[in-house]
Structures are given as structure tokens and as C-alpha cells.
């Protein structure tokens, strides 16, 4: 989702702390994401997704955010992967966007829900055919003896679905992280960084600052 830049935003790196504090976190995210999209060479929508297992062990990996709106932030995956298993055990996750060129990061924490089948179908069908075949071929996060095994599984999937139509596997879908907390971090001189937090309060948001 791409939103117009916030008309109240000051130039990148020069935000007024008071103006930032008073903003809706989704509007501020839209501004920062637009800035990142304009300057990041590769994947401005890349984000770290952190999950925790039933045993309390954390893990993190970088995925691509594929959609966002006021309901939350969406990514897609094999739900039988490690992160899928962990999200089945603990329906909470943390996200981290880091834009080094802008010296900014955004942390988002909240509960996780499944996207609808219609949303999953729409995104899956927008992917290149080989990527769709890969969803059938990859037993994600499971041991792989040799890459030739993966290549053979891709070939098998291609033989099974020779045309452009490749159905979405039932185990491949998306998750939406519903924010309960945002933190916007801006690099400042001498490590006196600016940190603005937003916490959900019912249908509203409270905001404040943290020491760097």
C-alpha cells in the first residue's frame, strides 16, 4: 500500500520532535516508508519478523512486507515453516524495518492473525509462475540433502502444473501483524537519538518519548 506523504512532515532527518509525537503512527509510517521507497536501492519493504517458540526460544528472519493498512502489516509464507510453527504456538510477533541510508528504524509489536483466503489467492496469483511452483516444491525449513533435490521437486511441480494456472497450496498463506506498539527511531548526533513510541489505547493511541 502506498500513501501520500504527510503534508505536516518536515524534510527527512529534520522532524520536529513535538510534531512527531502528535502524529498518528500509521500516518508517520506512511511518511517514513515513502522516504525509504525513494532512496533505498533494494527492498525498502524488507522487515525482520521475530517470533517465539512454544519453548520460549526466539528466532528472527527478514521477509518482505507485501501489504499494509490500518488493520496491520502483511507478509506471506509457508505456514508449515519454522515461523509458521512458532506463530501457531504463540500468536504474537515483532517487526523491524531498518533503513540504513536514512538512519531510521521502526519497531512494531502486536498480535498476529491469518489473512483471508481471497487475499492470499490474490497475492499468490500475482507472483511469477516459477515462484508459485516453488511454493509446491519447497518443504520450507526442513532439511535438504542436496540442492538437486529441490530442483527435481520444482521440475515435478512444473510437470504437474504445465500451464500458467498453478493453484495455491493450502499451507501457503499470509499473516497480518496487528500493531499494539510502534517505536520510531531516528539517528541523532552523538548517539542522542530520537525515539518516539505509540501504544494502542482502545481505538486510540498514546504517544511519548524514550531515552536513547
Active site residue ranges: 191
Contact 177, 143 (CB under 8 A): no
C-alpha cell belonging to residue 49:
519478523
What backbone phi and psi angles, to 5 degrees, belong to 209?
Answer: -120, 155
Q: Which of 162, 20, 6 is nearest to 104 (CA)?
A: 20
* Cα–Cα distance measured from residue 37 to residue 48, given in angstroms and rounded to the nearest whole number: 17
Burial of 39 (0-12, 13-18, 19+ CB in 10 A): exposed
Beta strands at 46-52 and 92-99: parallel, antiparallel or unpaired: antiparallel
* Cα–Cα distance measured from residue 170 to residue 179, given in angstroms and rounded to the nearest whole number: 26
Q: Spell 98-118 as b/e; 16+ CB within 10 A means b.
A: bbeebebbbbbbbebbebeee
Region of residue 58 (phi > 0: left; psi between -120 and 50: alpha; otherwise: beta): beta
Amino acid at each position: 500500500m502506498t500513501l501520500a506523504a504527510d503534508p505536516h512532515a518536515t524534510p527527512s532527518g529534520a522532524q520536529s520532535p513535538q510534531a512527531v509525537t502528535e502524529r498518528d503512527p500509521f500516518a508517520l509510517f506512511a511518511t517514513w516508508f515513502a522516504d525509504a521507497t525513494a532512496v533505498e536501492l533494494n527492498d525498502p519493504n524488507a522487515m525482520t519478523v521475530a517470533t517465539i517458540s512454544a519453548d520460549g526460544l526466539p528466532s528472527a528472519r527478514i521477509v518482505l512486507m507485501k501489504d499494509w493498512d490500518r488493520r496491520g502489516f502483511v507478509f506471506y509464507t509457508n505456514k508449515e515453516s519454522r515461523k509458521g510453527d512458532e506463530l501457531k504456538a504463540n500468536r504474537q510477533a515483532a517487526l523491524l524495518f531498518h533503513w540504513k541510508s536514512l538512519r531510521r528504524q521502526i519497531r512494531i509489536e502486536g498480535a498476529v492473525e491469518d489473512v483471508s483466503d481471497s487475499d492470499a489467492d490474490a497475492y499468490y496469483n500475482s507472483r511469477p509462475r516459477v515462484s508459485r511452483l516453488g511454493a509446491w516444491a519447497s518443504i520450507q525449513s526442513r532439511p535438504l540433502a542436496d540442492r538437486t533435490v529441490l530442483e527435481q521437486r520444482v521440475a515435478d511441480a512444473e510437470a504437474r502444473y504445465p500451464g500458467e494456472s498453478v493453484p495455491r497450496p493450502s499451507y501457503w498463506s499470509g499473516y497480518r501483524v496487528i500493531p499494539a506498539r510502534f517505536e520510531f527511531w531516528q539517528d541523532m548526533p552523538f548517539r542522542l537519538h530520537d525515539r518516539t513510541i505509540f501504544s494502542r489505547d482502545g481505538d486510540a493511541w498514546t504517544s511519548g518519548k524514550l531515552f536513547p
